[in-house]
Amino acid sequence: MTLALLAFFAGGSVARESEKERRRSGLEKRADTYFLRHRYDKAMSLYESLIRREGGTGALHLKVARLYFMVSRYDLAILHYTKVVEKDEDLPTVKDVCDFIDAHRFTGSDQKAEAVCLSYMYKNIFSRHQRYKNVLDVLTKRHNIAAEKSYATTLLPSTGGGTEFLIGELDGKRFLVRSNHGFDPSEKLFFHRIRYYEMEEGHNPLPGAGKASPFHLVPRDLQGGPATFSSRRGLMVSAVLQYETPDQIILGEDNPFKSRLVYSKLDKGGRRYSRFAPLFPQEEGASFTYPFLFRDGLSMFFSSDMPGGYGGFDLYVIHWDEARKAWTRPLNLGPEINTEGDEIAPVLFRDELIFASNGHSGFGGYDLFHVPHAEGTLPAPQHFPHPVNSVFNDFYMYPLDEKSGYIISDRNLGTQNDVYSYQFQGTRLSNNIPYLGDTEQSLMNRWTKPQKASLRLPERLLSLHFDFDKAELTPRAIEQLDEFAGSYGNRTGITLRIFGYTDEAGGEDYNLSLSRRRADIVLEALKNRGVRVPMRAAGRGKIPIFDQVEEEPESARTSTDARRVDIYEEHETH
């Protein structure tokens, strides 16, 4: 098998230029090769020798710090991140600083973590970055995150030192997806050396160390990543790494690997799954992972950083079109669910969509959220309380029933990811604490419509387009707002959400500011026209040329579509 090409590019201009233009010595090339072959100890020893022999530039220390963080050597990551800051405090990206802070947190040095966090607090790019704000919040709350007494969690017995990251079901039997090596990046997006293990029932629900998988129908070479099955359709969907010829390790804000969604079909005799094939056309340079089939395999959630999202990895849904014998185009679940951070690991349990996010406000790292039923909309996700969530990465939930199930978390620093059981011990939760299954109508109904029907998001009422690089209303936009206010301004029981966007031209900071100004001017214009319903405005920054309307032809989408403000209607729920 060929080796993986790590192709991150640094976020800041200094880091990007110096890392790409810096010539590699023979020693660094050998170190890169060892790391790509997952021989991490040998690779890191060579990188350290390189620094001692040639002197450590800021870019080289940054590269080594990132690699140490990937393999959970937080003490050594701290050492090299410190060297980076000493040489050039502007060299680390936002992700680097958050990883530097987390390395301190994960080694129990909260005061040092807080010092690093505060030193970057007044830089503009950090003040609006949700992961950074989450880290700042958790450092502020570290002494007062109280456990909700209605919940209890228990660490389940060791599974032999592996890294657990997903629980699924095949033919009514639960299985555990585990990686048997030390590569455990905090993003929880890519894993190597995967095996599937059947989860035993009874006192010890986890397999013993080294126990072989009983899934004789799933060949070993198909056990490559997060997987989901539909027994009725004989369908298996998995996320697998995309391998390329190895070259240079260039590290930055992008993800180190790319993954693809592939499928396999059980043969007519029910004896074996076929070789993998691409599930649907997937954009080059983007990753697709964490599939979850539902509705007997006719619909599927997944996570992707494909163009057209809200930043990082977003959650999407697709449906099987029987007439075309193909999957519909992916539909983004929208701005209430997805953020500029990462949303991963979707699970649909009865009336609840459960997922993990490091973009919504929480305790730091990934936290678990769920979306309760609200007719006609996707409301804001609710955050599970401590101890279901912790200040570490809590990134997967598998409910057994309304009150119990499993979570996967890296809160135990000595063993990386582990499986915990959780149990709700009360009779009913208060309104501000999530309770699975407490709805009148199934949330799933909104994902089980015919092929061309889509997820019901808040209704988009109006789109206003702007001139390039402008936040002033055009004459056409003024006409639209006059008409809108005259027919819509006095309605009750609703909230208007106003989202501003820009095209892909310009820098990240500038685009976010411009999108906010566009949203704010529309909000003020509505107020001046007598609209008195509750309104909230937000800037979403740039959005690539992409739209969620399935009927819109590719040729109809232009950059002007991205220079806009959208007005959505939300109904009040009781």
Q: Pairing state of beta strands 459-465 and 494-502? A: unpaired
Residues ≥6 apart with Cβ < 8 Å to 334: 378, 455, 457, 458
Question: Which of 41, 58, 92 is where one domain is finished?
Answer: 92
pLDDT at residue 266 is higher than 90: no
Is 175 found in the same domain as 77? no
Is 293 found in the same domain as 423? yes
Query: How far apart are alpha carbons 509 and 518 in whole angstroms?
Result: 14
How high is the pLDDT of residue 357? 94
Tokens of 526: 């509505």
Query: How far apart are alpha carbons 406 and 174 in whole angstroms?
Result: 11
Counting DSSP H helices and E strands in the chain, the numbers are 11, 24
Query: How far apart are alpha carbons 397 and 199 in whole angstroms?
Result: 15
Q: What are the backbone angles phi and psi of residue 331, rounded to the nearest 5°?
A: -110, 120
Q: What is the rounded average pLDDT of the residues 451-464?
A: 55
Residues ≥6 apart with Cβ < 8 Å to 192: 38, 179, 181, 183, 241
Is 485 found in the same domain as 415? no
Confidence band for 105, pLDDT divided at 50, 70 and 90: confident
pLDDT in tens, 65-104: 988 888 778 899 999 999 998 888 888 888 888 888 888 8
Question: Which of 447, 467, 502 is where one domain is finished?
Answer: 447
Percent pLDDT > 90 in the chain is: 17
How high is the pLDDT of residue 94? 80
Is 436 found in the same domain as 492? no
How high is the pLDDT of residue 124? 58
In-domain check, residue 372: yes
Is 501 found in the same domain as 403? no
pLDDT at residue 369 is higher than 90: yes
Query: How far apart are alpha carbons 175 and 214 in whole angstroms?
Result: 10
Q: What is the rounded average pLDDT of the residues 347-371?
A: 87
In-domain check, residue 355: yes
Q: What are the backbone angles phi and psi of residue 131, rounded to the nearest 5°?
A: -65, -40
Tokens of 49: 């020798």
In-domain check, residue 391: yes
Burial of 321 (0-12, 13-18, 19+ CB in 10 A): middle
In-domain check, residue 418: yes
CA dist 550 → 128, 355, 448, 465 (Å): 32, 25, 17, 20
Is 54 found in the same domain as 164? no
pLDDT in tens, 153-192: 888 876 555 677 888 888 878 888 887 666 666 678 877 6
Between 451 and 296, the higher pLDDT residue:
296
Is 488 found in the same domain as 439? no
Reduced to 3 states (helix: H, G, I; strand: E, B; else coil), residue 29 is: helix
How high is the pLDDT of residue 178? 81
In-domain check, residue 204: yes
Confidence band for 394, pLDDT divided at 50, 70 and 90: very high
Query: How far apart are alpha carbons 273 and 217 in whole angstroms?
Result: 6
CA dist 316 → 245, 327, 512, 535 (Å): 30, 13, 23, 27
CA dist 491 → 497, 530, 566, 569 (Å): 14, 12, 18, 11
Is 505 found in the same domain as 481? yes
Is 328 found in the same domain as 466? no
Q: How many domains does the chain have?
A: 3
How high is the pLDDT of residue 477? 93
Q: Pairing state of beta strands 494-502 and 352-357? A: unpaired
Sheet holding 277-278, edge to edge: 227-230, 235-242, 258-265, 277-278
> 175-179, 227-231, 389-393, 495-499 — which one is most confidently predicted on average?
227-231
Across the chain, mean pLDDT equals 75
* CATH number for the domain harbouring residue 79: 1.25.40.10
Q: Count how many Cα atoms sit within 13 Å of the Cα of residue 136 in the half-sphere of its side chain.
A: 16
Place of tokens 């930055």: 252
Q: Would the CA dihedral through 47, 49, 52, 53 be positive or negative? A: negative
Is 212 found in the same domain as 294? yes
Between 232 and 213, the higher pLDDT residue:
232
> 158-162, 415-419, 542-546 — which one is most confidently predicted on average?
415-419
Q: Which helix (H) or strand (E) holds 241?
A: strand 235-242
How high is the pLDDT of residue 417? 82
How high is the pLDDT of residue 465? 92
In-domain check, residue 509: yes
In-domain check, residue 140: no
Indicate the range of 58-72, 76-90, 371-385, 476-490 predicted with least confidence.
371-385
Q: Supply the range of the domain harboring residue 176.
A: 151-447
Reduced to 3 states (helix: H, G, I; strand: E, B; else coil), residue 424 is: strand
pLDDT in tens, 498-511: 888 887 677 767 88
pLDDT in tens, 495-541: 788 888 887 677 767 888 898 899 999 999 999 988 888 888 888 77
In-domain check, residue 127: no
Q: At what angle do helices 58-70 and 74-87 cross, to 10 degrees?
A: 160
Question: Which of 42, 76, 92 is where one domain is finished?
Answer: 92
Reduced to 3 states (helix: H, G, I; strand: E, B; else coil), residue 423 is: strand
Write the secondary structure of 333-388 as one string of H (helix), E (strand) and C (coil). CCCCCCCCCCEEEEEEECCEEEEEECCCCCCCCCEEEEECCCCCCCCCCEECCCCC
pLDDT at residue 232 is higher than 70: yes
How high is the pLDDT of residue 151? 81
Is 84 found in the same domain as 184? no
Tokens of 502: 């820009």
Is 299 found in the same domain as 170? yes
